[in-house]
Structure 1
């Protein structure tokens, strides 16, 4: 949190603290600054508009220079990606006029909106899911986590990676290769993960998934590959290459039902080859990370009673190694 407050002008920090309680400050998820419009503060429980904070164009330029550390090179690179990563894994999204060159985004000019997203890892958020995605020998099963936006897919993936990498919650330890195309899971800064992804995890950030998978297999010999939000058919082809190489998969996709994912061209190859051994569906109507259904590769539901027995068995086995949960941002 301090990393976020330190980049903001002091008067903005003061007005935010005047508008919310001390306990609500710990619930802070986003601060949305917009030129000539009120600032929006998004909390876990509510969202408020602060009319007294309205950036001028000159303030916007100064803030952009501050968060890019007055580096022209960094400014150019960050404006191409549309966001800036801060120490601690926090991210500032940028919006404004987009410059196009040869059909590609060259940069965002005249930045008019900043979305400061507070990153908090929730240690133990995958506690109840992990036993459902391992076999009787505590090895990883190829898993697809399915859910609409804001159901906690990224948060769950991050904690699964950490548990697999550090042999927690019943897993055997494995070398994990994380292809973090949007740099949201590990939130690397100068190549160094700012979020807890485990001691045996290697990260390739800001890299297209399909290319990154092949590069990771060749260079780091991972036992498990993890990617977030499969979006293209070539992503599935890359994941199949990993399966054929004997590497296990953990990945996610947007969706709400079996019918949704069966219709998505981007994952048809994985379904057709029965590469996925567990489909974990998250519930959009419950708190982020809540499991609604779990299915095997034939889309046969693993009954709730079976899942509870499996989870309880693993929790009993590892009761001597409790997982401490830190409540924070769910994404």
Structure 2
């Protein structure tokens, strides 16, 4: 391990307000009335038909009353109705369920601002596989934010002095710990050329494969988050296919991708490495050993593809960031 650090103190760029137009009126008013500290720290808004409206913020949770109070007991919380949930789904799909068939099959919708909305309900099967989710009765709105400067905590440990670029790096954490936020800021810094040492010169060409539209929050193909001036984004494209397309067409010096883990992802990472492209990726896991239990990631580790591992975890002092060299 290189070093264990606490989470950075940089302030997130406000982005939660972009969810307001998506919310049914009663839910929107309850959320607007929440205390400022809760709104600023909001990480998730959970809307369940007939059950208490819930907010997750700053590692805590509360149930939202109609007047915006977030008391822990759920008895007096606002309970979204069937009409609320139906209207929410219409707003999320822009009144066209058919055009969001693929998203409904995968169980999430990414909306403007980079927020991902998880869905729960009754599934429809076809040949034993999920075709779509019907009767959607549960929504989890995960709030995406920019956290400029958080990459400063780890970028010095990722540098390759011999090549004056970054090393192949895998960022690991459970869902909701900030690995996408960290990757986003590293992309911005590398593209802009915000190196911790001046001899690295300017920015690098960065290719981003953004399958779930979370890294760039693209609208009609145009990123809404700042990923730097030398970054190209392949939006809404499967990771493995998108990586190969980027390698063939955009000549990136660094390739960034979120949440790898399938065999086809590993094959695409191999292609990038063999093409001389540095790879920054994320994966789910509570620690390095947990993440490497996936066969595809275990194969990459066995071959020494990643020379740096960044692990995010929560401790008594808050979020902890640890960087490991490949053994």
Q: Does 1:192 align with 2:203?
A: no
**Could you give the per-residue CA deviations for residues 20-44 of structure 1, whole angstroms, max 9, x where no partner exists?**
3223221122211111111111121
Alignment TM-score, normalising by the size of structure 1: 0.80
Q: Secondary structure at the match of 1:292?
A: strand
Q: CA deviation at 1:101?
A: 1.8
Q: Does 1:139 align with 2:165?
A: yes
Match of 2:137 in 1: 112
Match of 2:27 in 1: 12
Match of 2:282 in 1: 252
Match of 2:178 in 1: 152
Q: Secondary structure at the match of 2:153?
A: coil
Q: Secondary structure at the match of 1:184?
A: coil
**Could you give the per-residue CA deviations for residues 163-205 of structure 1, whole angstroms, max 9, x where no partner exists?**
1111113354111111223332223333222322222222223
Partners in 2 of 1:78 and 1:264 — Cα distance? 25
Match of 2:324 in 1: 294
Residue ranges of structure 2 left out of the alignment (5+ in a row) = 1-15, 65-75
Q: CA deviation at 1:244?
A: 0.7
Q: CA deviation at 1:278?
A: 1.8
Q: Does 1:21 align with 2:51?
A: no
Match of 2:50 in 1: 36
Change beyond 3 A, Cα 1:106–1:284: same
Q: Does 1:214 align with 2:244?
A: yes
Change beyond 3 A, Cα 1:291–1:23: closer
Match of 1:204 in 2: 234
Q: Secondary structure at the match of 2:88?
A: helix
Contact 1:85 1:189 in 2 (8 A): no
Change beyond 3 A, Cα 1:71–1:35: same
**Could you give the per-residue CA deviations for residues 88-144 of structure 1, whole angstroms, max 9, x where no partner exists?**
222322211111223433221111011122211101111121111112263111112
Q: Does 1:267 align with 2:293?
A: no
**Could you give the per-residue CA deviations for residues 32-63 of structure 1, whole angstroms, max 9, x where no partner exists?**
11111111111215211234422222332222
Q: CA deviation at 1:11?
A: 2.6
Contact 1:228 1:251 in 2 (8 A): yes
Contact 1:148 1:284 in 2 (8 A): no
Contact 1:237 1:269 in 2 (8 A): no
Coordinate RMSD, CA, aligned: 2.3
Contact 1:144 1:276 in 2 (8 A): yes
Q: Does 1:166 align with 2:192?
A: yes
Change beyond 3 A, Cα 1:271–1:12: closer
Alignment TM-score, normalising by the size of structure 2: 0.81
Change beyond 3 A, Cα 1:105–1:237: same
Q: How does 1:123-134 map to 2 (within 5 A)?
A: 123-134=148-159
Match of 1:96 in 2: 121
Contact 2:110 2:212 in 1 (8 A): no
Partners in 2 of 1:41 and 1:258 — Cα distance? 30
Q: How many residues are matched?
A: 295
Change beyond 3 A, Cα 1:134–1:293: closer
Change beyond 3 A, Cα 1:284–1:57: same
Partners in 2 of 1:23 and 1:281 — Cα distance? 28
Structure 1 consecutive aligned stretches of length 4 or more whose deviation exceeds 6 Å: none
Q: CA deviation at 1:261?
A: 4.9
Q: CA deviation at 1:249?
A: 0.8
